[in-house]
Amino acid sequence: MKTKINVIILAAGMGKRMDPLTKDIPKGMVKLFGKSLLEMQIDIFKQYDISDITIVTGYLGEKITFPDINYIKNKNYSLTNINESLFCAKEKFQTESLISYSDIIFEKKIIKQLADFKGDIGVGVRLNWKPCYKERTLHTASEAENVVIENNKIVKIQKNISKCEKHQIIGEFIGLIKLSKNASDILTQKYLELKKSHKGKFHNATSLKQAYITDMLQEIIDSNYLVEPVIIEGKWCEIDTIQDIEYAKQIFK
């Protein structure tokens, strides 16, 4: 029986740090173990009986042509950032949604952990994250998207959080989010309000157009909505540089 969860994979970015591999293809089409990063994700989602999969494309989007997949293009991908790509797909916010970055690979059991989350906004987080950066000299720990957890809720989310209070924990956001239908409505309403009225800097971004999803989540947190960590266990890796490909081969060999 197929789940009612739909998946939105954000794949609009140019992946400049993967050059020359991304000269002629989007980052999500870079191959590892004979499959593209996107294909590896799609296979896992389908194993979990998720068939409603949407890819938000942008840079060289015509190179992404998997069958039985929905496509939405962020036509302004070169002028915007990943948060804008997410809301290009707001029409898919009709049921529970899983949001995924296109440049990550993970085990199936991580998706089960996210899918089983019953709250409104669940953010995939790993706790033992610092050792993984020892070999990533081209993408250091200072570039990690971090969360601060207090009493089982996320109180702060942004890049490079190095300090917290004694009763708090710092984790790493892994580029996977689970949204209930209610949460999707809340996010969409907040986004549309911001589009009408917001000017200037937006949290850690220079503007709303240049916002990361972490900026939008911080806006939601600051608006007193509950954002919860889903502590994941299992193999996971981000592919942001060519060096990361070799690191991923060690993890998933």
Please name each of the domains of the chain with its CATH number: 6-252 (3.90.550.10)
> What's the pLDDT at 3?
65
Q: Residue 63: which residues within 8 A CB-CB, separation 6 or more? A: 24, 25, 26, 29
pLDDT tens digits, one per residue of 12-31: 999 999 999 999 999 999 99
- Closest C-alpha to 96, from 5, 1, 229, 226: 5
Q: Please check the confidence at residue 1 and state whether its pLDDT lies above 50.
A: no
* pLDDT per position as a tens digit, 181-213: 999 999 999 999 999 999 999 999 999 999 999
pLDDT digits (tens, 9 = 90+) for 112-129: 999 999 999 999 999 999
For the chain, the average pLDDT equals: 95
**First CA to last CA across the chain, in angstroms?**
31
Q: What is the pLDDT of residue 69?
A: 98
Q: Quote the pTM value.
A: 0.96
Model confidence at 2: pLDDT above 80: no
